[in-house]
């Protein structure tokens, strides 16, 4: 009995495995990714084409990735004509991949050339999205995504061939697992990243315009607590992604959260290509049944006959054996199409080299070329050769805020009006890196300025306290209680490092249960 149960369980397990990886489906999701992914990458390739000589050839400044690992001759370094020509071919292959002409060769060729050029320029070309794209292009090239919505399918139809686009689903499954492992690895990395869960790393990134402008990111830096909560939510989502994405009820909510998360990076971090590329690649999670379900909805029903009609929907006996009605036409196209394709690549490479040579971006052959290097001004040379200047204390301060509620290490509320008997916190946030610092927090009376009585300035010192902020810490908090010894009125808090004042904040103390305090609380 136990032997029979074991055999049955093994057969069931094998059946689930085979169904998961080797079920035959029309690759609608992979075909959509094939249409979108190369088109997105082509935008970046066109933008870099004018700088191919500088970035990828021996005429420029190569920054090879393999050199950093002690393999200087791992990949060949090309001269300028070869680099420009092959980079032009890469752009053409991306285009032919999107339209589906010689699809498998186009995708695999794009993957190989994209890999090469990324490794030739590790400073700017090799990024997260290029690595992810290379893997997806490789798996697309192993799938049947070129059998639908492509030039190849149109040519097959002209030849009278009936091609069944259904194929084993394992390339699509590998793409899905790739995303799951990327997110899982990213979550594990975040666990070991200092300053991630506190939100400091993201806040410092939002404060810069390293990528592009992102006004929402500037606004979010004012609320580090919400940034920290978002970091925890991101970590949880990345860890559980691989476990929820294959659950029918949880798949689409998981993908919706991921899409919103990636699109938010456009407005908070200034990323553009990466979120668009990942959102487009999410279509690898679209199955044949789900695609047809979407087309059955009333707004898309008119597209059903155009997009979902394939020879695979014909009766089984009609697709059991491929039929060639016009063998002479098929023979002519079978040899002609690859020849035309190779000719297009060769002509494109030659044209790309000729155009880049004529444009002469660096004016090597211009009337006054090659251009001489401009001489630097003496003052600029002395400034560059001078020693490091000490950083001012005020430049080490990122923020100085007052609030009454502290959640973890963040202020959950920012207030400048308090009543007698209340406790509030003064939070000092520093810019990394900084040395071990002693920070003083000084409470002063507010007095009218001698030159302008309408303006208040710090006066007599009422209370002074200090703390050490270690070099690995980003912030510290000073706790104050407005006791009965502090009369209602206007006051200042000053932050000082040694004798240097770094910042000051004005606040108001009201008598307990005063009408002004009720109004301030209501606001």
Q: What is the pLDDT of residues 144-202, one digit of tens each?
A: 998 888 888 888 888 777 778 888 899 999 999 999 999 999 999 999 988 888 888 88
- pLDDT score for 320: 42
In a domain, 161, yes or no: yes
Among 243, 271, 299, identify where a domain stops.
Answer: 271
Residues 32 and 154 in one domain: yes
Q: Please write the tens of the pLDDT for every residue from 3-53.
A: 444 555 555 555 777 888 888 888 999 999 999 999 999 999 999 999 999
Residues 48 and 151 in one domain: yes
Chain-wide mean pLDDT for the chain?
Answer: 84
Q: Please write the tens of the pLDDT for every residue from 468-483.
A: 999 888 889 999 988 8
Top-ranked range on mean pLDDT: pick from 102-116, 191-205, 332-346: 102-116
Low-confidence winner among 92-106, 240-254, 328-342 (lowest mean pLDDT):
328-342
**Mean pLDDT, rounded, for 321-343:** 57
Q: Please write the tens of the pLDDT for every residue from 438-464.
A: 999 999 999 988 888 788 888 889 889
Count CB neighbours of 138 within 10 A: 19
| CA gap 238, 111 in Å, rounded | 26
- pLDDT score for 327: 44
**Mean pLDDT, rounded, for 243-262:** 93
- pLDDT score for 322: 47
In a domain, 221, yes or no: yes
Q: Could you list the residue range(s) of the whole structural domain that residue 54 is in?
A: 28-165+314-362
Give which of 464, 515, 517, 456 is closest to 491, Cα–Cα.
456
| CA gap 74, 96 in Å, rounded | 29
In a domain, 290, yes or no: no
Give φ, ψ of 485 to 5 degrees: -75, -10
In a domain, 455, yes or no: yes
| CA gap 407, 226 in Å, rounded | 11
DSSP per position, 9-78:
HHHHHHHHHHHHHH-EE--HHHHHHHHHHHHHHHHHHHHHHTTHHHHHBTTS--B-TGGGGT-TTSSPPB
Q: Strand, helix or coil at 127? A: coil
- pLDDT score for 133: 94
Residues 474 and 515 in one domain: yes
- The residues with which 508 forms a beta bridge, in sequence order, are 417, 490
In a domain, 7, yes or no: no
In a domain, 247, yes or no: yes
| CA gap 100, 35 in Å, rounded | 8
Residues 153 and 258 in one domain: no
Question: The domain spanning residue 420 has which CATH number?
Answer: 2.60.40.1930
510 DSSP 8-state letter: E
Among 210, 244, 271, identify where a domain stops.
Answer: 271
Give which of 96, 139, 89 is closest to 114, Cα–Cα.
89
What's the predicted TM-score (pTM) here? 0.81
- Joined together, the tokens standing for residue 157 give 């139809």
Residues 434 and 511 in one domain: yes
Q: Please write the tens of the pLDDT for every residue from 419-433.
A: 888 889 999 988 888
pLDDT over 60 at 390, yes or no: yes
Angle between helices 103-120 and 28-49 (to 10 degrees): 40
Residues 194 and 160 in one domain: no
Residues 449 and 514 in one domain: yes
pLDDT band at 434; cut points 50, 70, 90? confident
- Joined together, the tokens standing for residue 210 give 């390293």
Residues 161 and 189 in one domain: no
Phi-psi category of 385—alpha, beta or left, where left has phi over 0 and alpha has psi -120 to 50?
A: alpha
Residues 342 and 439 in one domain: no
Query: Looking at per-residue confidence, does 136 or 309 come out higher?
Result: 136
Residues 143 and 39 in one domain: yes
- The residues with which 429 forms a beta bridge, in sequence order, are 399, 475
Give which of 450, 439, 425, 445 is closest to 500, Cα–Cα.
439
Give which of 92, 82, 138, 96 is closest to 115, Cα–Cα.
138
């Amino acid at each position: 009995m136990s032997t029979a149960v074991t055999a049955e369980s093994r057969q069931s397990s094998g059946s689930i495995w085979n169904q998961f990886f080797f079920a035959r489906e029309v690759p609608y999701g992979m075909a959509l990714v094939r249409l979108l992914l190369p088109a997105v990458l082509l935008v970046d390739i066109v933008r870099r084409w004018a700088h191919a000589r500088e970035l990828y050839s021996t005429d420029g400044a190569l920054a090879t990735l393999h050199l950093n690992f002690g393999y200087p001759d791992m990949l060949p370094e090309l001269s300028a004509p070869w680099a420009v020509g092959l980079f032009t071919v890469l752009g053409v292959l991306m285009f032919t991949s999107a339209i589906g002409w010689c699809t498998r060769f186009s995708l695999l060729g794009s993957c190989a050339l994209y890999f090469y050029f990324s490794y030739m320029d590790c400073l700017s070309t090799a990024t997260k999205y290029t690595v992810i794209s290379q893997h997806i292009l490789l798996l697309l090239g192993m799938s049947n995504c070129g059998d639908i919505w492509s030039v190849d399918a149109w040519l097959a139809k002209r030849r009278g061939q009936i091609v069944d686009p259904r194929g084993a689903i394992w390339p699509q499954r590998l793409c899905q697992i790739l995303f799951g492992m990327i997110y899982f690895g990213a979550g594990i990395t975040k666990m070991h990243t200092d300053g991630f869960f506190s939100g400091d790393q993201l806040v410092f990134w939002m404060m810069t315009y390293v990528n592009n402008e992102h006004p929402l990111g500037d606004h979010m830096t004012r609320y580090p607590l919400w940034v920290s909560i978002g970091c925890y939510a991101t970590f949880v989502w990345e860890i559980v992604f691989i476990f929820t994405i294959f659950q029918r009820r949880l798949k689409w909510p998981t993908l919706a959260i991921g899409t919103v998360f990636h699109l938010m990076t456009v407005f908070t971090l200034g990323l553009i290509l990466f979120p668009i590329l990942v959102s487009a690649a999410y279509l690898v999670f679209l199955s044949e049944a789900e695609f047809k379900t979407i087309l059955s909805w009333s707004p898309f029903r008119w597209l059903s006959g155009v997009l979902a009609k394939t020879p695979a929907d014909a009766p089984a006996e009609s697709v059991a054996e491929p039929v060639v009605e016009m063998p002479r036409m098929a023979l002519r196209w079978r040899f002609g199409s690859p020849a035309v394709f190779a000719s297009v690549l060769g002509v494109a490479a030659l044209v790309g080299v000729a155009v880049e040579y004529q444009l002469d971006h660096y004016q090597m052959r211009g009337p006054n070329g090659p251009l001489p290097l401009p001489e630097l001004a003496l003052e600029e040379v002395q400034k560059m050769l001078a020693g490091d200047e000490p950083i001012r204390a005020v430049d080490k301060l990122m923020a100085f805020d007052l609030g009454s509620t502290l959640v973890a290490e963040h202020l959950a509320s920012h207030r400048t009006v308090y009543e007698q008997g209340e406790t509030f916190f003064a939070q000092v946030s520093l810019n990394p890196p900084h040395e071990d610092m002693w920070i003083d927090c000084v409470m002063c009376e507010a007095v009218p300025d001698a030159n302008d009585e309408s303006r208040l300035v710090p006066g007599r010192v009422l209370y002074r306290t200090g703390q050490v902020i270690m070099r690995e810490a980003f912030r510290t908090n000073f706790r104050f209680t407005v006791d009965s010894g502090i009369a209602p009125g206007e006051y200042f808090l000053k932050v000082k490092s040694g004798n240097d004042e770094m910042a000051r904040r004005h606040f108001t103390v009201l008598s307990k249960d005063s009408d002004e305090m009720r109004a301030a609380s209501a606001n």
